[in-house]
Amino acid sequence: MAPANAAPRVLMRRLREIMARPGEPQARLDAIVTQIARIMVAEVCSLYLRRPDGSLELFATEGLNKEAVHNTHLAKGEGLVGLIADRAEIVNIHEAQDHPAFSYRPETGEEVYHSFLGTPILRGGRTLGVITVQNQARKVYSEEEIEALETTSMLVAELITSGELDDDVAAMADRTTSRHFSGVSISDGIALGHVVLHEPRVTIHEFLSDDLHNENVRLDQGLETLRSSIDKMLSKAELQRVGEHKEVLEAYRLFAHDQGWVNRLKQAIASGLTAEAAVERVQNDMRARMLPQKDRFWAERMKDLEDLGNRLLRILVGDTETAATSNLPDDAILVARTMGAAELLDYDPKKLRGLVLEESGASSHVAIVARALGIAAVGEAANIVNRVDTGDDIVIDAITGDVFVRPTQDVIDAYSDKVRFHAAKQKQYSELRNKDAVTLDGQDISLKINAGLLVDLPHLAQSGADGIGLYRTELQFMIAAKFPRMSEQREIYKAVLDAAGHRPVVFRTLDVGGDKILPYMRMSGEQNPALGWRAIRMTLDRPGLFRTQVRALLQASAGKVLRLMLPMVTDLSELTKAKRLIKLEEDFLEKHGHEGPERLEIGLMIEVPAIVYQLDEVLPLVDFVSIGSNDLMQFLFASDRTNQNVAARYDMLHCVFLRVLQKIITKSNAHNVPVTLCGEMAGKPLESMALLGLGLRSISMSPASIGPVKSMILSLDLQALETFMIETLATKSGSLREPLERYARDKKVNVEAFKLT
């Protein structure tokens, strides 16, 4: 093999020469694998490319049987090659056939080879394929050989993404027909427009440099420009209000100054790479390390660092033209595989109608910014990027999570009507803001909102709600980079109470664990986290954490009423332990002369079936209860509402669930304990109608649902509904959705809400 530092340079020069030659892509791939094998003194070099279905196809080889090219296919995850592609990790072993992932393919003739080195071909966060080298001698490949193959994979990625290789015929045909994609809503709204593909990647033309000083100077200048542009971008007026998005973007700014990132870039330059090639190398390394991580914090950090790297690349190559700065249509709907939060801010919000992402969910950083900007957005729309072209007609329903690419005229007409319907309904609902929620027979209903961040507080006045029925304190913890100090918590809680004024606020104590992970808190891996160490269980095991939050809440509510709610209580003993800790904090305030709340009310959330059978014991010990319908329903039926395979079984209007709610309401009334419901169920007019028929007089929901639910209440005769519910629950089985819909039609109760069927 060539000397250590020479191998990558010689290989890159030879590969550049091959790519510059005229000819068919296949001939160039054949020449590339031959050259790699020659420079690395390998008996085999093979190139596998990933197909649209996730399988891997042998595209070129030097050393294996030529007949295997285009005839050897590995299923997703199959063999050592599949392992490399799935994990985006290098495999370097001296005996391939002893590895448990080895898959023997007789048509290749590879059984005589022992040592194996494989590296993923990475581009833009995706694994495009795998390059492997093999030798008959048993050996572990050196760091220099690994570096040579990694550098080669960068160049091959350029060839693949240049569009010079044949595209999959089925995928190309698929781009001309109407397509429907199902995702999840990450920012409510409906939008019709034209596709704009978000392509932040740039092409690198120079990979190697002998002038290390010059490359370091270029890198420093690029970093300075990058940081200045971020400061300018984040100074936009619409982003200056306090809220979740502000904290996300401030963290993004800190990443741009991360010295560890800068040091890795300089180390890559020291190996002989240009500044832009160094950025590409560090990005590939980070992806390989971070992709196996399942933690949401690391996934979001990877997106932010990916975005920073892309911005720096554009600065270094002088390519400042992007989809965001080009001639954006007035009805642009962005489509991307994934996106950093700051990348969305590059686009003119006046022209941007919607956003569709393959990977990001409702809790992602880009979703938070989309909601702050009021952009309709759908996430988890699998494989959509490979099925659309810039300029395609597109409709997104970010209420249901549906996306229609190249829609038929019928779909366009239906959604045009839906947009008009939605606007008209919103106008009607806004006119109800100052109107009391009173039924036709004179029953007052209290409508409250669910909140969790300071940015939610203006919704109190905008929606005309009676108060905050659920303030999720954990959201502030989840977006923070470190555990909020007591003083920080106190200021946030005080701001919430001040904004609410005379309206009541119910603070739920820290409810983390399960799918709500604090990035700075060590959580052991659990096989079933929804049923594991979370909510009150965790805070009782960490009394310091619980007492710090309680102390902040007590101080923040000085002279006011503090309503404190405990999540996921499953046993009487948990309630008594929590109350004992709260009493210790009350005593602490009194002892040290701090003013406490005018009155402290302690409540609990009923969201675990076990507590329903302890109501006679727990109700005398609390001042109020709130039903968490989401968890109670999924625990009752063992049906995860986020799992599409069982989603059809998850019906809030099933008579069994309604009978459980009826039992809770009856018991609470018997003990004179106020009861409310604060889950998703409360925000749907038909479901909320059923809740009122069961005896509830207070429900809490998202701010956008206040108008539709109030409209339903104003058209409802509650006494007649209660009679209907008692009779129907006593005689029916299964879901009561159809009987309730029929009742609403017959009695002319307005349960239409936003959706147009």
**Nearest-angstrom CA–CA distance, 729 and 745:** 19
The SS3 of residue 91 is strand
Sign of the CA dihedral 507, 511, 515, 519?
positive
DSSP annotation of 241 reads S
Sign of the CA dihedral 223, 225, 230, 235?
positive
Q: Which amino acid is at 379?
A: G
Which structure tokens are listed for 48?
């596998």
Q: Of 415, 379, 370, whose CA–CA distance to 394 is shortest?
A: 415
Q: How far is CA 566 from CA 136, 507, 551, 601, 628, in A?
A: 65, 9, 15, 11, 11
- Other C-beta atoms closer than 10 Å to the C-beta of 258 total 12
The SS3 of residue 250 is helix
Burial of 680 (0-12, 13-18, 19+ CB in 10 A): middle
**Nearest-angstrom CA–CA distance, 181 and 178:** 10
Q: Of 94, 96, 71, 70, whose CA–CA distance to 83 is shortest?
A: 96
**Nearest-angstrom CA–CA distance, 654 and 715:** 24
Contact 749, 708 (CB under 8 A): no
Contact 536, 566 (CB under 8 A): yes
Contacts of 95 by beta carbon, 8 Å cutoff, 6+ apart: 114, 115, 138
Contact 72, 86 (CB under 8 A): no
The torsion region of residue 501 among left (phi > 0), alpha (psi -120 to 50) and beta comes to left
CA 155 to chain centre: 32
Contact 183, 403 (CB under 8 A): yes
Return the ∠ at Cα 188 (arms to 655 and 700), rounded to 5°.
45
DSSP E strands, 250-386: 332-336, 352-357, 376-379
Q: Of 70, 253, 247, 262, whose CA–CA distance to 166 is shortest?
A: 70
For residue 471, list its beta bridge partners: 451, 507
* Residue 678 is among the residues annotated as catalytic for this protein: yes
Contact 415, 190 (CB under 8 A): yes
- Out of 198, 365, 422, 459, the active site residue is 365
CA 67 to chain centre: 44
Which structure tokens are listed for 138?
């048993």
Q: Which are the catalytic amino acids?
A: 365, 678
